[in-house]
Amino acid sequence: MLSVLLCLTMDERRALIALTLVPALVPHVVKRLLEACGSAVEIWRAADTRLRAIPGMSPAALTALLAARPHIAVLVEETLTYARQQAIAIITLQDAAYPSRLKTIHDPPPALYVRGTLVPEDDLALAIVGAREATPYGVEVAERFAADLAAAGVTVVSGLARGIDTAAHRGALRVGGRTIAVVGSGLAHRYPRDHARCAEEIAQAGAVISEFPLSAPPRPAHFPQRNRLISGLSLGVLIVEAGARSGALITASCAAEQGREVFAVPGKITSALSEGTHALLKDGARLVTGVGDICEELHLSFAPVRGVTLPTRAALAADAQRVLALLSDEPLHVDAIAAASGFAPGALASLVLQLELQSLVRQWPGQRYTKSQGSDP
């Protein structure tokens, strides 16, 4: 009985958070409920017969909502307590900090869980997404676009996935810019696990956000759902490498439905990772080869405010220059570098590390290395 009374006395903020704690209440169902009842509080107070009469209210969603009522208020308080302990902010639709651009989409989440900070300047944002199994070309392009945009004061939005997403976040971080990661699990989970350090850096320089409850695991269905938030937070979406069935194409579709711009970087016509991007270009996406193309389309002035200067060959020692000259945009194994350069393994490791620290080369799995874009004078 006490739990029922607590449910009846919930304020609007807690009632909105409560909606995120019932997995069956997917975005379009929440939208219908809010439209029909007028507020989140009324959803939790509404009579069963009234809820059943709402168009599009599935039996599963109704059953889940009714089953949650006796204990939902307690779950909300537990969520608020855990969030405070973990320095996670919960921002609801009624809060001033809720991203204004996200409010304009068809089905904004009732609440966002945020590790880090969201600021008004994040309204000037662009999403960069693409293949998880990206090529060195795609990773370099994504990082360079992100760095250039972030240096100009644009917030870079992506999904913290392997490949293009991580490259986009990394590019923004490299120049001291802002970046937002939208994840497909609750913030109590670190997913992917090997990106935990990157997630912490993003939270320090922007935010990691989720619409899912703190303890929600990274279920496959979550990722297509979160893609609408990646595009919803942004002025447009840039696709860098995407196969014919890539999840990045879902983000592009969300962007088009939301009235956002869709940009695509051309790739090799022989690469399967170009099929999706080239299909987008045929369907009317804006072809871009540099950040100026994006700024022109969005009517932005490109004036770097957080510039980064990469060292030139003249600033490198002769031995490091010799190693750099052997590298290209195709990964080269360390043994091949040693054979071509003549350096002993210990000396070569020191030289490669020096080049990595100066962002002139990048390491790939299997002790392979490529030259970073912008490493030539």
Q: How far apart are CA 267 and CA 275, in angstroms?
A: 9
Residue 362 domain-assigned (yes or no): yes
Residue 330's domain is classified under what CATH number? 1.10.10.10
The number of folded domains in the chain is: 3
pLDDT at 241: 92
pLDDT of 161-214, one tens digit each? 989 999 999 999 988 999 999 999 999 987 677 778 889 999 999 999 999 999
Q: Residues 185, 236: one domain?
A: yes
Q: Between β-strands 206-210 and 111-116, what pairing exists: parallel, antiparallel or unpaired?
A: antiparallel
Residue 376 domain-assigned (yes or no): no
Does residue 90 have a pLDDT over 60? yes
Residue 243 domain-assigned (yes or no): yes
Q: How confident is the model at residue 34 (pLDDT cuts 50, 70, 90)?
A: very high
Residue with tokens 């595009």: 231
Q: Residues 38, 130: one domain?
A: no
pLDDT of 296-345, one tens digit each? 888 776 655 444 444 444 456 788 888 888 888 888 888 898 888 888 77
Are the C-beta atoms of 121 and 180 separated by less than 8 Å? no
Neighbours of 342 (CB within 10 A): 9
Q: Residues 254, 155: one domain?
A: yes
Residue 97 domain-assigned (yes or no): no
H-assigned helices in the chain: 2-8, 12-20, 27-37, 40-45, 48-52, 59-68, 72-85, 136-151, 164-174, 196-205, 222-232, 247-257, 275-282, 291-298, 318-325, 334-341, 345-357
Residue 103 domain-assigned (yes or no): no
Q: Residues 179, 42: one domain?
A: no
Q: Residues 248, 364: one domain?
A: no
Residue 280 domain-assigned (yes or no): yes
Q: Residues 76, 119: one domain?
A: no
Q: Residues 246, 354: one domain?
A: no
Q: Residues 153, 238: one domain?
A: yes
State which residues form the domain around 141.
115-298
pLDDT of 257-300, one tens digit each? 999 999 999 988 888 999 999 999 999 999 998 888 898 888 77
pTM of the model: 0.79
Q: How confident is the model at residue 218 (pLDDT cuts 50, 70, 90)?
A: confident
Q: Residues 331, 261: one domain?
A: no
Residue 96 domain-assigned (yes or no): no
Are the C-beta atoms of 310 and 358 separated by less than 8 Å? yes
Residue with tokens 């996200």: 102
Single-letter residue type at 267: G
pLDDT at 3: 42
pLDDT at 146: 94
Q: Residues 148, 268: one domain?
A: yes
